[in-house]
Amino acid sequence: MSQLTITIDSDSTVVVVPAITESFTTGQVVEIISIYDNPAESLVQAEVDGIGIIKLDSLSDGNYVTNWTNSQVATAVKNYIQTS
């Protein structure tokens, strides 16, 4: 299986749990370790290095589609990191 990664466009900080943050710098490559798809709950999650498992809102609930792509997951993870 090929590795799925994203490259950070701007410095970002994500709160992983209260009082613990993970910082990402411009140009940093972040690995998406696993993608979890739960059609019964219309839920797509990603396990991201340094963060853990996150729900991808742009691909879940009312936005859920069964034929999402790795590119869509990568975009959703990047947006999560850069807007947190």
Read off the amino acid at residue 15. Answer: V
Work out the average pLDDT over 11-16: 88
The sign of the CA dihedral 31, 83, 69, 44 is positive
- Please say if the pLDDT value at position 59 is more than 60: yes
Q: Quick one: pLDDT band at residue 1, thresholds 50, 70, 90?
A: low
Q: Which residue has the higher pLDDT, 1 or 7?
A: 7
Q: How many CB atoms lie within 10 A of CB 57?
A: 13
Q: Quote the pLDDT of residue 68.
A: 94
Q: Which letter does DSSP use for residue 49 in this model? A: T
State how far the Cα of 14 lies from the Cα of 28, in Å rounded to an integer: 14
Q: What is the percent of the chain with per-residue pLDDT over 70, rounded to a whole number?
A: 99
